[in-house]
Chain A
Amino acid sequence: MITLENIRKVFYQGRPNEQVAVLDASLTIEDGKVTVLKGPSGSGKTTLLSIIGCMARPTSGRIRLGEREITSLPERFLTEIRRQTFGFIFQQFNLIRGITAIENVMLPAYPNGEKYGLLKQRAKGLLDLFNISAKTNERVQFLSGGEAQRVAIARALINDPSVIIADEPTAHLDTKLSQEFMEIMDRLHREGRTIIIASHDPIVYASALVDRTVEMRDGKIVS
Chain B
Amino acid sequence: MAWIDKQRNVIDFTLSSLLRRKGKNAALIIVYTAVVFVLASVMLFTHALKREADIILREAPEIVLQRMVAGRHDLMPVSYATVVSHITGVGEVRPRLWGYYYDPLFRANYTLLVPDDFRYGEGDIAIGEGVARAGVTSEGNIMPFFGSDGKLVSYRVKEILPSESELISSDLIMMGEADFRTLFSIPQDRVTDLAVTVANPQEVLTVAAKIRKELPDTRPIVREEIVRTYDAIFDWRSGIMLVIFSGALLAFVIFAWDKASGLSAEEKREIGILKATGWETSDVILMKFWEGMAISFTSFTSGLILAYIHVFVSSAPLFEPVMKGWAVLYPEFRVVPFINFYQIATLLFLTVVPYTTATVIPSWRAATVDPDAVMRT
Contacts and interface: CB of A to CB of B under 8 A. Distances in A.
B46 interface: no
B279 A50 contact: no
A164 B279 CA distance: 17
Given A75-B281, A159-B278, A90 B6 contact: no
A111 B279 contact: yes
B225 interface: no
B278 A108 contact: yes
Contacts of A114: 2, 5, 9
Nearest to A106: B9
Interface in A75-89: 75-76, 79-80, 82-84, 88
A110 B277 CA distance: 10
Contacts of A84: 278
Given A55-B371, A88-B277, A112 B16 contact: no
A107 B274 contact: yes
Q: B9, B274, B275, B283: which has the most chain A beta carbons within 10 Å?
A: B9
B372 interface: yes
Contacts of A109: 9
A108 B3 CA distance: 16
**Size category of the binding interface on chain B:** 20 to 34
Interface string B128-142: 000000000000000
Interface string B218-231: 00000000000000
A194 interface: no
B10 interface: yes
Interface in A108-129: 108-116, 119
Q: A90, A98, A111: which has the most chain B beta carbons within 10 Å?
A: A111
B103 interface: no
Contact of A110 (B21, B283, B371): B283
A113 B2 contact: yes
* Interface of B (DSSP majority class): helix
A90 B270 CA distance: 14
Contacts of A119: 9
Contacts, number: 98
Contacts of A92: 377
Nearest to B10: A110
B276 interface: yes
A4 interface: no
Interface in B351-377: 370-372, 374-377
A55 B276 contact: yes
A219 to B, nearest CB: 16
Q: A91, A94, A116: which has the most chain B beta carbons within 10 Å?
A: A94
A79 B17 CA distance: 23
25 contacts: A46-B375, A46-B376, A55-B372, A79-B279, A83-B277, A90-B374, A91-B375, A92-B377, A94-B377, A96-B270, A98-B17, A98-B21, A99-B16, A99-B17, A99-B20, A107-B274, A108-B277, A110-B9, A111-B279, A113-B5, A113-B6, A113-B9, A115-B5, A116-B5, A159-B278
Interface of A: 46, 49-50, 55-56, 75-76, 79-80, 82-84, 88, 90-92, 94-100, 103, 106-116, 119, 155, 159, 167
User: Top 6 A-B pairs ranked by shortest CB distance?
Assistant: A83-B278, A113-B2, A98-B20, A113-B6, A50-B372, A108-B277
